[in-house]
Amino acid sequence: MQANRLSFDVKPNAHPMDEASRLKAFENLGFGTLFSDHMAVVRWSADKGWHGAEITARAPFPIDPASSVLHYAQEIFEGMKAYRTADGRAVLFRPEENARRFNDSARRMAMPELPEADFLAAVEALVRIDAKWIPEGEGSLYLRPFMFASETFLGVRPSKEYIFCVIASPVGPYFKGGAKPVKIWVSETYTRAAAGGTGAAKCGGNYAASLVAQSEAAAQGCDQVVFLDAAEHRWIEELGGMNVFFVMQDGSITTPPLGGTILPGITRKSLVALAREEGFTVNEERYSFDQWKADVESGKVTEAFACGTAAVVAGIGTVKHSGGEFRIGNGETGPVTGKLREALVGIQRGTREDRHHWVRAI
Ligand code: PLP
Ligand code: COI
């Protein structure tokens, strides 16, 4: 076990983007296409442990064609955001949850754990040096910590070398339609994760396996795919990159339980807590697609929404499946969805009291 905290060698980018170009790029922010000037890098090897921590100019990695990540996909990542609050502070939202989940993923993928304090130090050092990359207003600086196997070796066993890196991307809305409710496609052909698999880990392979279903959703004119369970193809699990909630007419809220096949979302966990504080009964229980359809038809379900760091809280307006499609409520974002979104975003932006101390200033 490593006793000492990592110390980051800071090498400022000699050619940062000029301010006029950056502000111009901020005018039309989408998701994940623009990147800040720096990155954080830490290396791990079986003999040295974690070492070589640095903040340096964002640049490509030279990768050997036999690098094991290219063959066996030993890779994990996180998704988090730095926000600019109304009073000008740069803040993170529950970053220690990301640090913890990163290590949960690392264990599942037979990768070394990065001490939580070092994970947080890397993220904070990057946000500090690239603070001007946090957009004002509704945008945020999306942070992508990730780790991949970098040993040059084709045998099938855990790598003996890894690179941990954090990059930053100023982002606007994840969905092209902005705050408009999304349309989702129910995948009846493909599933995302089975019991004993990697569904609860945030590993690249889960997303690679979801892309064909996401492409099917796009071909059906939908924004996202919703997966059913792998055993019975019956129970709703989650979307390609978001958790899902259902709002009932009786004022209760249902969300699929964490059972190892879905990602334990930090937004999900936060919304469960906020909804309970607002007086809603939240049930974390299995809910079938057939039941959902019937409950929408009978008016028992009045709203549904997707949530995640990238997507925030997005109302689900329409659901399409092989047998047709149905609209939820009047197809617009519902009042409960709006209220929970406001509560969450208010805390993240510093306009609401942060009773749980979820926000961490940098
Ligand atoms: N589910 C999947 C598959 C995801 O990729 C994400 C996004 O990170 C989530 C759920 C939501 O997780 P979080 O709220 O921690 O961003
Ligand atoms: C996130 O919300 O951070 C994710 O990783 C999901 C992905 C759709 C970008």
Render each residue's pLDDT in the chain as its tens digit; 362 residues. Answer: 456 899 999 999 999 999 999 999 999 999 999 999 999 999 999 999 999 999 999 999 999 999 999 999 999 999 999 999 989 999 999 999 999 999 999 999 999 999 999 999 999 999 999 999 999 888 999 999 999 999 999 999 999 999 999 999 999 999 988 789 999 999 999 999 999 999 999 999 999 999 999 999 999 999 999 999 999 999 999 999 999 999 999 999 999 999 999 999 999 999 999 999 999 999 999 999 999 999 999 999 999 999 999 999 999 999 999 999 999 999 999 999 999 999 999 999 999 999 999 999 99
Pick the closest to residue 39 from 99, 149, 135, 122 (CA basis): 122
Tens of pLDDT, residue by residue over 268-325, are 999 999 999 999 999 999 999 999 999 999 999 999 999 999 999 999 999 999 999 9
What count of Cα atoms within 13 Å lies in the side-chain half-sphere of residue 168?
Answer: 31
Which atom of ligand 1 lies nearest, measured to the CA of 97?
15
Could you tell me the distance, in angstroms and rounded to a whole number, from the CA of residue 2 to the centre of ligand 2? 30
Nearest CA to ligand 2 atom 7: 241
pTM: 0.97
Ligand 2 binding pocket mutation candidate from 309, 312, 344, 348 (most atoms within 8 A of CB): 309
Pick the closest to residue 113 from 49, 201, 198 (CA basis): 49
Distance CA 236, CA 255 (A): 9
**ipTM, 2 dp:** 0.98
> Rounded to whole angstroms, what are the CA distances from 228 to 42, 71, 200, 231, 271?
37, 28, 15, 9, 22
Mean pLDDT value across the chain: 96
- Answer whether 239 contacts ligand 2 (Cβ < 6 A): no
Ligand 2 binding pocket mutation candidate from 78, 81, 93, 174 (most atoms within 8 A of CB): 174
Nearest CA to ligand 1 atom 3: 241
Tens of pLDDT, residue by residue over 62-97, are 999 999 999 999 999 999 999 999 899 999 999 999
